[in-house]
Amino acid sequence: EYEMERGAHAVLRTLTGAGYEAVLVGGCVRDRWLGLPVKDMDIATSALPEQVMSLFAHTVPTGLQHGTVTVIPERGGPAFEVTTFRTEGDYADYRRPETVEFVTSLDADLQRRDFTMNAMAEYADGRLYDPYGGRDDLGRGVLRCVGEARERFGEDALRMLRCVRFAAAYGLEIEAGTWAALQEQAPLLRHVAMERCRAELERMVEGRAPVRSLQLLAESGLWRHFKVPTGVDWGRGSELAGGSAGSGAPNEQHRPDEPGKDVRPPVPAAAIRSAGHEADAGARGLEARWTKLEEPETKWALLWTLLGVDSDASLQAMQALVFAKRRMEAVGAVLACDATLAQQAAADAESVRAAWVRAALRYGVQALRRWLALRAAAAPPDGPQREALHSGAVWLAALPAATLQELAVGGADVQAALGERGGPWLGELLHKLLVRVALGELRNEREPLLTEARRLREQQR
Ligand code: ATP
Ligand code: MG
């Protein structure tokens, strides 16, 4: 971070030394003010992109149409996005405009930004420039639009998702006018490109406050306006915050929204405030366990199971959200494990393990491991399942073999030992060997495996 700070100041000095205005802007100013770690430092300047490029030896024209040049002040050191002060041209279709206009005034640049806490600038000497009162709002824990909220959400409807994400992640209250505008403009969400929606959702689901995010999506009415063509009931987000989650009832039947019918009455702003800050212990616990999950695949699978969406519907939803195919399949495998295994809780330990082995072989050990983590996160901390799931994860880690490649014998060994040519029987036999090894009934060593292979082949005949 020190290196980044030094690099950023070198860029600021070079620009101001050449007679231009240059400041740190956006997320880094906000996060530094809050004492949080900073991922990247963005710079805004009155210099035009070609002027920026002429001042530094190493630059990349990463977004010239938006006025952005990436500057690498020191070889091998951090890179900085330097963007010319600009306003955004006319907004059409509630989307971010294609064209921008370069301006010389920092004020005009800050004015186009979404929230007061994101519209602060910092000079090289550390002075804060904060014409919209972002610092005061942060001090009071309030998230507020720059200017007229209704208009700002109308210009670019994605800002409504950003609003929810920031309020949740930073634990802020949404200012009353901004909140009213959010509820009013929620239907505009349908104009936002799915890729942009997905990127925001990913940051909520994989971020610091997924439960609170879901709750805000539900209570603002935004969830009803995702163009997701399935019966995904985002409205459950608010139930989660009430602590009803973790009962672990997946794949429940539920009705898709009927068009034009409000499934859930809007929740008054006062209610959301208290809900946000006094979320009950159940919701807080779920939030903590969710954020501790290691992999995004597990987090998404948890989301869908908590929303009560079955695996088909969640695949459709992820397709609509234009997820990468690999990610979708990985989440799908976890949900498939859930569909076959979640009801098993009542069975005796031995048949549970047998079912787990079958799932591991069918969907992969990784999917089963993620499923165990998912169920442990969804279950209440003092529930009896917790222990079983934990011991399941330990057991899984010690699994002697879960793929044919891990077996101590291969198809050729078995053919040679039996003096027989391969055929459909061979795959079936190897699979049976694998199941017995995985269940701990058979040692994963050449001799016992071949002996068992002979016995099984006799049975097959
Ligand atoms: P994060 O920590 O999530 O990256 P950030 O504030 O840096 O937060 P970015 O998306 O990186 O968010 O955007 C950088 C800055 O650009 C924001 O702080 C804000 O000032 C401005 N900005 C980004 N998106 C929008 C938008 N849709 N409308 C208005 N201003 C925006
Ligand atoms: Mg950023």
The pLDDT tens digits of the residues spanning 86-104 come to 998 766 677 766 678 899 9
Domains delineated in the chain: 2-140 (3.30.460.10), 142-397 (1.10.3090.10), 404-460 (1.10.246)
Asked if residue 71 has its Cβ within 6 Å of ligand 1, the reply is: no
State the Cα–Cα distance between residues 68 and 85, nearest whole angstrom.
10
pLDDT for residue 237 is more than 70: no
Burial classification of residue 71, based on how many CB atoms lie within 10 Å of its CB (0-12 exposed, 13-18 middle, 19 or more buried): buried
Cα 117 to ligand 1 centroid, rounded to whole Å: 10
Quote ipTM for the complex: 0.99
State the Cα–Cα distance between residues 159 and 101, nearest whole angstrom.
20
pLDDT at 275: 41
Residue 345 binned pLDDT confidence (cut-offs 50, 70, 90): low
Asked if residue 113 has its Cβ within 6 Å of ligand 1, the reply is: yes
In degrees and rounded to multiples of 5, residue 402 shows phi and psi of -135, -5
Q: Average model confidence (pLDDT) for the chain?
A: 86
Angle between helices 349-363 and 424-438 in degrees, nearest 10: 130
Question: In the 8-state DSSP scheme, what is residue 65?
Answer: G
Asked if residue 114 has its Cβ within 6 Å of ligand 1, the reply is: yes
Residue nearest atom 15 in ligand 1 by C-alpha distance: 26
The lowest-confidence range among 335-339, 361-365, 387-391, 425-429 is 387-391
pLDDT at 233: 62
pLDDT for residue 240 is more than 70: no
CB contact at 8 A, 85 and 44: yes
Q: What percent of the chain has pLDDT over 70?
A: 86
pLDDT for residue 245 is more than 80: no
Nearest CA-CA partner of 12 in 110, 122, 117: 122
- Residue 143 is encoded by which pair of tokens? 């998230």
Question: In the 8-state DSSP scheme, what is residue 255?
Answer: P
CB contact at 8 A, 225 and 187: yes
Asked if residue 310 has its Cβ within 6 Å of ligand 1, the reply is: no
Residue nearest atom 10 in ligand 1 by C-alpha distance: 27
State the Cα–Cα distance between residues 70 and 333, nearest whole angstrom.
40
Whose structure tokens read 């908590």? Answer: 306
Angle between helices 325-341 and 296-306 in degrees, nearest 10: 50
Non-local (6+) Cβ contacts of 216 within 8 A are 164, 167, 168, 174, 222, 237, 272, 276
Residue 2 binned pLDDT confidence (cut-offs 50, 70, 90): confident
pLDDT for residue 21 is more than 70: yes
Range list of H helices, 225-323:
236-241, 269-277, 281-292, 296-306, 311-320
State the Cα–Cα distance between residues 179 and 150, nearest whole angstrom.
9
Task: Note the pTM of the prediction, 2 decimals.
Answer: 0.83
The lowest-confidence range among 238-252, 286-300, 382-396 is 238-252
pLDDT at 239: 61
Nearest CA-CA partner of 369 in 377, 199, 235: 377
pLDDT for residue 385 is more than 50: yes
pLDDT at 69: 98
